Amino acid sequence: MSRLNVDFIIEIGTEELPPKALSKLAKAFHNNLTQSAKEARLNYTASRWLATPRRLTVILSGLSVHQSDMEELKLGPALDAAFDAEGNPKPAASGFARSCAVEVSQLQQIETDKGVRLGYKIQQAGLAAVELLPNLILQALKDLPIPKMMRWGDYNEAFVRPVKWILALLGSEVVPMTLFGQTSSNLTRGHRFHAPTPFAIENAASYEQQLFDQGKVIADFETRKKQIEQSANQIAQSIGSAIIDPNLLDEVAGLVEWPQAIIGTFDQEFLQVPEEALISSMQEHQKYFPVRNQTGQLSHHFIAMSNLESSHPQSVISGNEKVIRPRLADAKFFFDTDRKKSLADRIESLKTVLFQHKLGTVWDKSQRVVSLCQKIAPAYQADVEKSMRAAQLAKCDLMTEMVGEFPNLQGIMGRYYALQDQEPPEVALALDEQYMPRFSGDQLPSSNAGLVLALAERLDTLVGLFGIGQPPKGAKDPFALRRAALAVLRLLMQNKVDLQIPTLIQWALEGYPEGIISEKNAAQQLTDFIYQRFTAWYQEQGIDTNVIHSVMARKPLVVIDFDRRVKAVAHFRTLPEAESLAAANKRVANILDKNLTENVDLSFDATYLTDPAEIALHQAVAALKTETLPDFEEGDYQSAMIKLASLQAPLDSFFNDVMVMVEDEKLKNNRLALLQNIRALFLKVADISLLQ
């Protein structure tokens, strides 16, 4: 094959792949193979992945049919070790030439960091892509993130599912290889029922269309997702709208190759069950899309995605309706059974559920959270008794049949059952909101009791795990402490709560009996950990690390205060004076660090000022002290920093015209004191010298 660029396609045909992992596997296969191709010097112009339940496919467009040539420089002895004074080659030069299979005269002199050395440039011609691709593909497959491998037949190789065929084409020619007992060819297979006979693929460019036309397969994962979503919405139009959960959409796309939407119904008596339970049952057990009616209420309709075009669609619909009924009947049974016992009657049973072997049971945790809520509630202007009651009942729904079947309904079912038990509405809502925010960007609790309970729950978990020396390590975070720490920060910023992190940690520590907390530095470690999450959160919002560090240097203990400072400094950085003032602050900091000792008297006296530049600077500083005082008292750091930016001109003039380190001790110290006053003004917000 001549030196060209042609399209390459590899398709691994398998038994049905795990639907939830399909896109992840396909992306990993694509990423592994493209990275290996680059490392092997096989250039390509574009790449993409495709995936269906029965295939993982990667296409490399414009792939070089040969590796690019490579020049390797082989270094030999130093020049003085290679030749004598007359220029005759020494044994070192001759030996090096023999190792390169050339004459000494063909060697070159190469300049290096360690002087001139003999060298030889070896030209390596690129190998053919067809020789390299089989091993690259095998390694890319071996490196897939597969937690559980399978073996089948008499083959030693293991894979996520049994491999049934291999399609491998470079241009229109088959790339010979044998993987998992299968020999490559130009044949693929279409839909298991609509197109069971293998058929030939012409090339990578025709692959997707041929699968669609001949195989009744939509090969592209994203295209299939769009088809599923559009068909679900279209079929639901006459009733209302389909509930499309993104995770379920991904999973269904991993289940079908030729999606056909059908709509069915279930008995309306099941609508007496909380809609979240019905939705969970339909989504988790049956992979159905629930439907809302025109008023937004859950309908007794559902949408299923069939994987074939049936000549008897009503039979398919009836079959799905028969399957969903026992599932919903189970949900109704759980709901009816749970309502026979109040949440309060389940409190004692929490003693049988272990939270963590060193931290006790869920009941123990609940008692600690009750105590913590009592301390936190006033800061949120929350009803103390209602907050404590919510904490008492918070985990009781874990003992219900419904949550046992659908763990994702914890809190949600607590709200329903609390309302049935005639608990105050705010208590019931808090049971649901205690888990907010569940993820980054999720909404926060809307009720004060919910805010209090959500914060107390996270604090107790964080303090407990850090207290027994079990913080997150590397990627391992079984108790989701990183997420909990970020939630603490967000919950404290809600309603601008004026509580210090160390105070909250101390309150949580007080809830643990003596002897439980073994880590002596737990409070400080946890404080540092929480602020590290603050840093990560701001970075996600695009705020520069130096801005965060400049505020961190002042160690503000109140989260809302920290947030105001960060936003003020971030805005300050956009001002034209910022760069110069940051540099000046760094210069001031260095001067003060070198000259401040216990014996130096830095009391400032304006009568010692002599130079016009220092007089002007002093007047500007004195005026700003007065002007910014209300800003600092109100926590309006942005306003203060905007005003402090006016110091740029007088400060630059001072450094241009005034010598600080003069021989006159009193004059020198007075100027140092003036600089110290300037530094102190900025430090009321942040150490902007760190912006440099």
Please write the tens of the pLDDT for every residue from 360-398.
Answer: 999 999 999 999 999 999 999 999 999 999 999 999 999
Axis crossing angle, helix 481-493 with helix 559-572, rounded to the nearest 10: 80
Contacts with 205 (C-beta within 8 Å, 6 or more apart), sequence order? 7
Q: What gap in Å lies between CA 467 and CA 456, rounded to an integer? A: 16
* pLDDT tens sequence across 549-560: 999 999 899 999
User: Within 13 Å, how many C-alpha atoms sit on residue 358's CB side?
Assistant: 15
pLDDT band at 598, cuts 50/70/90? Answer: low
Q: What gap in Å lies between CA 490 and CA 560, rounded to an integer? A: 9
Residue 423: CB atoms within 10 A of its CB come to 23
* pLDDT tens sequence across 521-572: 999 999 999 988 988 889 988 999 999 999 999 989 999 999 999 999 999 9
Q: For the domain 566-691, what is the CATH code?
A: 1.10.730.10
Nearest to 160 by CA among 175, 184, 180: 180
Residue 249: CB atoms within 10 A of its CB come to 18
Is the model's pLDDT at 606 over the cut of 70? yes
CATH T-level topology, domain 5-67+128-215: Alpha-Beta Plaits (3.30.70)
Asked whether the bond before 437 is cis by omega within 30 degrees of 0, the reply is: yes
Residue 104: CB atoms within 10 A of its CB come to 17
Could you write out the DSSP letters of every residue in 70-128? EEEEEEEEEHHHHB-TTSPBPHHHHHHHHHTTS-GGG-EEEEETTEEEEEEEEEEPPPB
Range from 118-127, 181-190, 396-405, 610-619 carrying the lowest mean pLDDT: 118-127
Q: What gap in Å lies between CA 621 and CA 635, rounded to an integer? A: 20
- Ramachandran sector of residue 635 (left: φ over 0; alpha: ψ -120 to 50; beta: rest): left
pLDDT band at 601, cuts 50/70/90? Answer: low
Is the model's pLDDT at 208 over the cut of 90? yes
Q: Is 446 helix (H, G, I), strand (E, B) or coil?
A: coil
Q: What pLDDT does residue 610 have?
A: 86
Cβ pair 228, 209 in contact under 8 A: no
Give the highest mean pLDDT range of 154-158, 457-461, 584-588: 457-461
Q: Is 159 helix (H, G, I), strand (E, B) or coil?
A: strand
CATH T-level topology, domain 349-542: Hypothetical protein af1432 (1.10.3210)
Q: What gap in Å lies between CA 534 and CA 532, rounded to an integer? A: 5
Q: What gap in Å lies between CA 102 and CA 621, rounded to an integer? A: 77
- Average pLDDT, integer, range 237-259: 97
Q: How far is CA 338 from CA 269, 270, 331, 440, in A?
A: 18, 16, 11, 32
Contacts with 508 (C-beta within 8 Å, 6 or more apart), sequence order? 368, 372, 456, 459, 460, 462, 463
Nearest to 113 by CA among 83, 84, 78, 89: 78
Axis crossing angle, helix 612-634 with helix 665-683, rounded to the nearest 10: 30
Could you write out the DSSP letters of every residue in 666-682? HHHHHHHHHHHHHHHHH
Could you write out the DSSP letters of every residue in 290-352? EEEETTSPEEEEEEEEESS--S-HHHHHHHHHHHHHHHHHHHHHHHHHHTTS-SGGGTGGGGG
Tokens 């210090």 sit on residue: 500
Q: Is 129 helix (H, G, I), strand (E, B) or coil?
A: helix
- Average pLDDT, integer, range 95-108: 88
Cβ pair 281, 406 in contact under 8 A: yes
Q: What gap in Å lies between CA 38 and CA 559, rounded to an integer? A: 47
Q: What pLDDT does residue 599 have?
A: 62
Q: What pLDDT does residue 493 have?
A: 87
Could you state, in order of their start, the residue ranges of all structural domains in the chain? 5-67+128-215, 70-124, 221-338, 349-542, 566-691
- Which tokens is 627 given? 């002007």
Contacts with 123 (C-beta within 8 Å, 6 or more apart), sequence order? 69, 70, 71
* pLDDT tens sequence across 56-74: 999 999 999 988 777 788 8
Question: β-strand 187-188 against 182-183: which pairing, if any?
Answer: unpaired
Q: What percent of the chain has pLDDT over 70?
A: 99
* pLDDT tens sequence across 300-342: 999 999 999 998 999 999 999 999 999 999 999 999 999 999 9
Start-to-end CA distance of the chain, whole Å, equals 57
Q: What pLDDT does residue 113 have?
A: 84
Q: What is the DSSP letter of 288?
A: P
* pLDDT tens sequence across 27-46: 999 999 999 999 999 999 99
Q: What pLDDT does residue 600 have?
A: 62
Q: What pLDDT does residue 2 have?
A: 44
Alpha-helical regions (H) of 237-291: 246-253, 275-280
Q: What gap in Å lies between CA 396 and CA 394, rounded to an integer? A: 6
- Which tokens is 67 given? 């590796």
R_g of the chain, CA atoms, integer Å:
35
Per-chain mean pLDDT for the chain:
93
User: Within 13 Å, how many C-alpha atoms sit on residue 606's CB side?
Assistant: 8
* pLDDT tens sequence across 641-676: 999 999 999 999 999 998 888 888 788 888 898 999
- Average pLDDT, integer, range 271-281: 97
Phi, psi of 145 (to 5 degrees): -75, 80
pLDDT band at 1, cuts 50/70/90? Answer: very low
